[in-house]
Each structure stands twice: as structure tokens, then as C-alpha cells.
Structure 1
């Protein structure tokens, strides 16, 4: 496990942010596809450096309805907002593929970041990057045609050019369109042989050059 932690710290150039005497406080966690990495209202005990896989981050409003926030690939820090605010987890984080994280307990991270300007800067860049990403996503609603946004969404979820068990209501919510409008454009893409839609499975037959 120690060798694996060292490998990922080097791969993402994280060693320079860490105090060598506290490296042994890190641990590896693995998540299978569909497993929850964090859940809303869960007690925030650790921070994770997300180093392998693909995840989706979503919240829940209006009862149990899921509101998708974003998809993420490595490298990401998870749980940093809750650490800063000293609050419980406020979003759901689900593994879309098998995932690996490097974890560290909050109390150990506090020691790691104490007097560590480089790690403070990394934490700040992470938070501001997520804010910028969210703003870019919001602006894209008004700048890109819906068919392009749909294909970008499918690209995030696809494995071997296929998306299974797709949630159309979640998809419509993320794209900020009605379910009816979404299905209309999906049919147009199907008719144009860009995708092949069968129930809750979508096969992507060809990716446009701008996706």
C-alpha cells in the first residue's frame, strides 16, 4: 500500500505539498462502480485525493430527486469544502467506474496543512477551480446547442461508446431542459444515426468532431 501511495503522489506531483513525516498517515481506498464515496449528511471524517476512475457529484432537493452537479476525473480533492466549513458532507459522490482515492483523516490533514503554504494554495486552487467549472457549465447552457450538450453528457458517462441504465430525468435536469424536449432531440440524433437508443441504453455510433 505504501508503494501505491508513493506512486500516486509522484504521478500527480503531490509530494511537494506534503510533510514527509506525515506521509504514512495516508491510506488507500477502492470503490466499485455504483458505490458511494460520500453521501449527504454523512459525518466528514476524511479528505480524499481522487486518483483513479470517474465520479459524479450530485445533491438532492425537493424530496429524493437527484440534481446532478458535475462529473469529475482525477486529480480532484474531495471533502475539502466540508473541511473548510467544518460541516458534514453536503453532496453525494458516486463512483461511475472502479475508483481509487488516497485518504487522510481530518485531524491528520490539519497537521499536514498547518504552516504549509503550498498545501493551502493547492486547497484554494481546488475550490476556485470547482467554482470556475460550475460557472462554465452554467454559461454553456446558453452557448451550445442542445444536441452538442447531450453528446458531451453521454461522453462523460460512456464506456466503450455505450451508456446503460441512463436516467433521463437526471439528464434533463443537468441539461436544464424538459424531459419532453430532451427525448425529442434524442430521437433526432437517433434518426440521424449519431446514436442508437434502445430503452435505457444508448449506443454512440459516431462522435462529431467538436465533441
Structure 2
């Protein structure tokens, strides 16, 4: 285990959770903004600890629509549900910003941590939070108006910059659960209000405060 991995584990209070021989099996990986860690239905063999940056988690519905479940910032954990259920990845996870993760294989966890009470309690806590988040995300698509969801999406996708690049409005509409036409109308309203500029496939945020007020709360966080 390298020094950076040790420092991240110490930073998030995880150094004592994993025995030394398990920590030695961990590896550090980086992903660039927009890069996928994995896609829904991929074979799941690794658990990831998000220690820097921000992720987007989405789900492909039976109707073929991708919907946002949540945005996650460090610290968080992905692959825990699949580890417990021994199943393929349930969701698609991609980097919103450049991210750093600590990976550890399921085989190592099953061999060395299966009877570790502290680890099992940690898993129980994180998985319970995941199902609460999924329930809230599904309800948001029903309870919140499209303009609120659009404002939240724009803010969540640009945590460290003002421009959303190479945006497909069709993909964006699917992710927030609306039609392309409705999304385009809302973006035009935001542009007329002076909150954004939409040009050549890019959306530039001009007034984050106004978008925050529109969102009320950042519902995808």
C-alpha cells in the first residue's frame, strides 16, 4: 500500500477498519471527468472507496430511459450492494469531476473481512443509506417540477467549473425524467432570465445564486 492510500484511509477514519494485510491489497486509481468507473450490468469484482472528487450515479429503466439517482462526493462507497448480493453492477457510475478511488477486490474482502463485525456494521450503514437515496431520487422525479430538476442538474454537474461541455440535451432530458422539448423550453427560460448561456452544445452558468434559488435544494445531492 502506497503512502497516498494510507493518507486517504487515515483522512476518512478508515485505517482501523481494515487490518494491515487487507490494506496491502488495496490500490489507488484516478478517473478523469466524464469517464465511467463501470456501467450497469457489468461484472462486479471490485469495491471502490471514493476519496476525492464527485460521481454521478444513474439507472437504466425498463423503458430504456436513464435516470439520475444521485451525485456523490467524497467520502462515499460504490459496489457495496453488489458485493453483498454477489450480482452485476446495478447502476452506471461516472466521474463528474476528476476523481480518486481506492479499490479492493471482492475476493479479498470475502476471504479476510466476511466475519469482521466492524466491517459488517459499516456495510449495513452504507447500504441502508443507498436505498434511502434511491427512494428519494425516484420521488424527486415525481414531486419536483422540471425547472427545479434542471437547475439542480446544472449545479450538480458543474461543482468546480461554470461550463457544462458537450451536453446532449436528449441524454440530459432522459436523466432528469422529462422530454427534450420541455427541457429545451426550460433552458430557454433560464437563458432569457440571464442565468445561463446555451451555445454550440455547451451550457455556461452565469448566475449560480439564481439557479440555487430555483432549485430550492440541490435535489440530486
**What is the TM-score of this pair, normalised by structure 2?**
0.84
2:10 is aligned with 1:10? yes
Tell me the C-alpha RMSD between the 2 structures: 2.2
| Residue of structure 2 in register with 1:82 after alignment | 82
| Residue of structure 2 in register with 1:34 after alignment | 34
Query: Is 1:190–1:197's contact at 8 Å kept on the other side of the alignment?
Result: yes
Q: How does 1:46-57 map to 2 (within 5 A)?
A: 46-57=46-57
Tell me how far apart the structure 2 counterparts of residues 8 and 34 of structure 1 sit (CA, whole Å). 23
Per-residue CA deviation, residues 51-108 of structure 1 (Å, 9 max, x unaligned), is 1122222344569764433322212211111111112223322222222111111111
**Worse-matched range after superposition: 56-65 or 43-52:** 56-65
The count of residues paired between Structure 1 and Structure 2 equals 211
Query: Is 2:54–2:99's contact at 8 Å kept on the other side of the alignment?
Result: yes
Tell me how far apart the structure 2 counterparts of residues 70 and 77 of structure 1 sit (CA, whole Å). 13
| Residue of structure 2 in register with 1:148 after alignment | 148
Structure 1 residue 141 displacement after superposition:
3.5
Tell me how far apart the structure 2 counterparts of residues 45 and 33 of structure 1 sit (CA, whole Å). 23
Gaps of 5+ in 1: none
| Residue of structure 2 in register with 1:157 after alignment | 157
Tell me how far apart the structure 2 counterparts of residues 192 and 168 of structure 1 sit (CA, whole Å). 19
Tell me how far apart the structure 1 counterparts of residues 41 and 189 of structure 2 sit (CA, whole Å). 41
Tell me how far apart the structure 2 counterparts of residues 46 and 20 of structure 1 sit (CA, whole Å). 19
Runs of 4+ that moved beyond 4 A: 61-65
Tell me how far apart the structure 2 counterparts of residues 5 and 201 of structure 1 sit (CA, whole Å). 36
**What is the TM-score of this pair, normalised by structure 1?**
0.88
